[in-house]
Amino acid sequence: MYRIFRRAAILLLALLLALCGGCAYFPFRDASALMRPPLPPDADARAIQALLRETYGGQGEVVFKQPLEGGDAVAYAGPEGERLSVALFGVESGLPSDGAEVNMALLRQEGTYWRLLCDAALAGTHVLALEFTAFADGGQGLLVRWRQPEGKCFAVYGFDPGAAEGGLRLLGEGGYDILQWADLDGDGARELFYALHRPNPVGALHRPNRAGAYKYQEGIFRPMGEEIYLDSPALRYLEPVRAQNGGKEFLLFDADMQEGRYTEVVYWDGEALRAPFTSGSTFRERKIPLRMEEGKARIPSEYPMPEGDGAAQRVRWSEITEEFTLRTIAENLLYLNTTQWIQLPAQWGDSITARPDPEDPRTLRFYEWDGRRRGKELFWLYSNGSESELLLRSGLTREGERAGMDLAFLAEIHNDEGRGGQ
């Protein structure tokens, strides 16, 4: 340890004589031109970490204690033609504030050397993701996501990768539950869309769930219109998917409720963000996910058997029209779990209804329906609803046999897996 401090002290003294200037975000950054030859690719992380220890080690022990989820603390994802790196680190000096923030260093490879461009301090300690991005005016940016006790946050920084000394300029920041780049207005540049879910305070009348977007203009991120409120039953949002309509991209994402799921759709109409559907229009009790097929969104929803009391539900699939309405493309489906289903015969129409068995709701009993009341039971269908080992049994009643009911359709069980999901 003595050798490390002695080496760092000598190096810092040399730097003070040779270098000046630095970035404005972190007090230990008076060495932005420090370079060190890189090692082979499998040792890049060690080389960069050694560079940062030499730069900041005079203030305490440099530690790389916050790796990204699913990866190392050093991320490589620079713009085309650039070899950039972002390293996450902390400096432990023995003060009570140690560990309260994570520092982010931006580096660039120049020939056989690494150059430290700049760094910044993040407000959180649990960094989730780092992502380089390019702006419409040719500038470069860095999107950082992290988690705080109150929820997830993001910040967008701009920088000039060609500068000898580059500063990270904070362009915009905020909270999010889902975050997605999309060309919402069709101008060829991507906007940053976000949606937030917040618990509804007891007795509150307002809807806390909302969505918005940021657009890069004149070197900063500006809100793209006003935030909009989303439907209130959501307890969490799933990852969004992008689809196209009229040359513009729009977002779809499933929202889980306490019992069931629905799909939110958000698009830009030229003046404002719109969310045209309520939870009721895309609701399904089984948490069937929306899916994409050949670039087109498919949204499931449930509707009742003709008896109309909601005891047994059928599923229909819809697509989004150019006017952002729902158009049915498949219906009369009976889902056995969230991916497997059977197609009820179209010729039945609304002449048959079904109700769960009162002693075992996994058994559906099917009856005649004359438009006003239930008739005689025709057949029954049992499904254990398992996602991994589906068990299906069925049987005709005497009335079903007399009516010549054919249950051959039950032999063909369809599966949504592999057809494109979220």
Residue 342 lies in a domain: no
Alpha carbon of residue 234 to chain centroid: 15
Q: What percentage of the chain carries pLDDT values higher than 70? A: 78
Residue 113 lies in a domain: yes
Q: Which of 42, 115, 60 is nearest to 82 (CA)?
A: 115
Residue 4 lies in a domain: yes
- Name the domain count of the chain: 1
Averaged confidence pLDDT in the chain: 80
Query: What are 337-384's pLDDT values in tens digits?
Result: 999 999 999 888 889 999 999 999 899 999 999 989 999 999 999 999
Residue 155 lies in a domain: yes
Q: In 3-state terms, what secondary structure has residue 234?
A: coil
> Which phi and psi angles does 281 have, rounded to 5°?
-75, -20
Domain residues for the domain of 60 are: 1-176
Whole-number pLDDT of residue 67: 58
Q: 408 pLDDT exceeds 80?
A: yes
d(CA 140, CA 142): 7
Whole-number pLDDT of residue 73: 55
Residue 273 lies in a domain: no
Exposure string of 349-376, with b = 16+ CB inside 10 Å and e = fewer, is eeebbbbeeeeeeebbbbbbbeeeebee
128 to 101, 124, 145, 247: CA distances (angstroms): 14, 10, 5, 32
Residue 257 lies in a domain: no
Q: 13 pLDDT exceeds 70?
A: no
- Angle of helix 44-56 relative to helix 2-18, nearest 10 degrees, comes to 70
Written as six digits, the tokens of 414 are 């369809």
Whole-number pLDDT of residue 71: 54
Count the neighbouring beta carbons within 10 Å of the beta carbon of residue 73: 19
pTM of the model as a whole: 0.80
Residue 236 lies in a domain: no
Query: What are 18-58's pLDDT values in tens digits?
Result: 333 332 233 333 333 334 434 344 566 777 888 888 888 88
Residue 153 lies in a domain: yes
Whole-number pLDDT of residue 150: 82
